[in-house]
Each structure stands twice: as structure tokens, then as C-alpha cells.
Amino acid sequence: MNNIEVIGLGALNIDNIYQVERILEDGEAVVKESGLFPGGSAANTIYGLAKLGVYTGFTGIVGDDAEGKILFDDFQKTGVDTSQIQVKPGAKTGSTLCLSDRLGKRSLYVLPGANNLLTMDDLDLTYITQARMLHLSSFTDDRQFKVLLELMDKLDPSIKLSFSPGALYASRGLETLKPILARTYTLFINESEIQQLTGKDFKAGAENCLNQGCQMVVVTLGKGASYKTVMTTSYIRDIENEYVVEPGNKNIISALDTTGAGDAFASGFIYGLVKGKGLEECGRLGNITAQFSITKMGAREGLPTVDELAQRYQELYSEQQ
């Protein structure tokens, strides 16, 4: 395919999600509901973009097992190009254990599996260079982190990099992530992650990230205090401007499962960038996409189509996409 607009690179996992009354430090609790769902941060974002009609592809590693086939099939049903997903014989596809409680708190445990086998040889630079944007998320192992650092040196300057470090990479700190941040066009990060990354609040932390070379920092500020509701606010900062994008007046939705809400936000925001929207409008699109995602279990089940996104935007902001 030579018309791919956004390519994703990151871990490919099956999410084992257990809904519980509360996350425990110690003790015993009943599981209210559980399920197996396709996951992986960049993978979720790419899936969301494909569902919005953006031409996408993904590069990564799965095992030759039933879980790997689930991930392939899920991408293919939305039109994601899977030609650069490698299948490693004898390897087990990565998985995540996710405990999610009624207040939206989560506890994640990652078993990387085949993701730990990714090498630079598995990345086709010609394939990546065809896209307008590369969306990158984290791996667990140092070997894959070194692959990403090598990729930064080889990545064509014309490719815009969007980066979702997550808690795993945020914990590495600014100095360690500097080679990636210096190449980043859009950094997607939540409030706790940017505090972990920079040691500062989200505004000062965003400025720090800009000083490292990021062209734009997008911070999701999370949920409101109402029981089982989420009201996403985002803070957007580039060299010249800053925006605080509040949810629309009607944008209060019961949260069934917040797994992948940040990945969904990135889908909506990148969709806006691809379509040439302004940053404030991109933030609104991200907020709405995240709101859709939390209405069903799993990171992808609730993601909107482009018609659903446009209708919801018009309801909230009286503007037609």
C-alpha cells in the first residue's frame, strides 16, 4: 500500500480485563466481569484511526498462536495493513492483566512475550517512510528501547513522530527519553505520567518537554469526581500557544471501562491533525473519542465511526465536521 497515512509501532498484546469493585493492596474481592480483548497502546490508536477512515498500517511482533490471530483479524476487519506484523514461530503473543475498578482506577501487569523479540531487522524503513506520521508507544525490554533509539537516527525527517510513552517509558526520565523527544512532533501523555517524566506539574512539565525538542505536548487531565463518570480535559501546548480543552456541556458519560481511553484520545486527536484541523478542535475530537471508548469493555469495542464522531461533535459544539 502506498497511501498509508499513519503507521503504528509498539507492543501487540491481548488484554485480560477484570472488573472489580476496587483495586486492593492486599485482601480479597469479587470479579464482577472479565474478558479478553485486543490491545497494545499504539495498536489501539491505529485501530481507532482506521475505524475513523484513516489509511493505517502497523509494524510489530506476535506469536504463532490463537492470540496472535485475534490481533491480526481485529486489525484486518477495520482495514489496517498488517503486512509488516511479523509472526515468530514458537513464541507466545504478549498479554496484559488489567484490573479495573468502578472509580476508573487500573492496575496493569504486562507479560511481553513475542514483543521482546523485535529487532531493527523487523522494521522496514521504506514501508515506514511512505506514511505522513509514525505513532510510537512503549515496549518493556531494554533491547527494544535501543531499537527505537536506532530508529530515531534512521527515520526520514519528513515523517512526523507522535509518541505515547506510557508509564513504562515515563519512568525512565527526560534524559533517557531525550533522543525520542527531540524527534517528537506530538507527545501524548497523561497528568501522572508527565509528573513522573519531568518531576513537575503538567504545565511546567510540558514546557520541559518542549525544551527537549517536542513540537507539541498534549496532556490528558483525566476524570471528574462524579461516581462512574469521566469528563476528560486536555491541555495542549506548542511553542507559541496553549489551550485547555474542556468537555462539552453534555459530555458526561458513564464509564464502564477506562482501559485504552488515552489511546482513544490519541486516535481522535491524530484524526484531526490528518484532516488539517486546529489544535483546539483536535483536542475536542480526542475528548469525544475517549468518551466513546469508555462505554464498553476493552480498549477498542466502544470506538466511534467517523459518522458517530461527527454527530457527537455537532451535538456538543454545534459545528459540522
Tens digit of pLDDT for each residue in 71-126? Answer: 999 999 999 999 999 999 999 999 999 998 877 677 899 999 999 999 999 999 99
CATH architecture assignment, domain 6-317: 3-Layer(aba) Sandwich (3.40)
CA angle 47, 261, 275 (to 5 degrees): 55
How far CA 149 is from CA of 38, 124, 131, 248, in Å, comes to: 27, 15, 19, 39
Q: Indicate if the pLDDT at residue 169 is higher than 70.
A: yes
Look at residue 228 in the predicted model and tell me its pLDDT.
40
CB atoms within 10 A of CB 153: 8
Strand partners, 245: 234
Q: Which residue has the cell 469493585?
A: 21
The domains of the chain are located at 6-317
Q: Enumerate residues 6+ apart whose C-beta is below 8 A from 104.
A: 223, 228, 230, 255, 258
Helix axes 279-293, 261-274, angle to 10 degrees: 140
- Summarised one tens digit per residue, pLDDT across range 229-259 is 445 689 999 999 999 998 765 545 556 678 8
DSSP string, 190-224: EHHHHHHHHSS-HHHHHHHHHHTT-SEEEEE----
- Cβ 258 vs Cβ 220: under 8 Å: no
Query: From the CB of residue 172, how many other CB atoms can be counted at a distance below 10 Å?
Result: 16
CA 58 to CA 136: how far, in whole Å? Answer: 10
> For position 24, what pLDDT does the model report?
85
Q: CA–CA separation, 153 vs 194, rounded Å?
A: 25
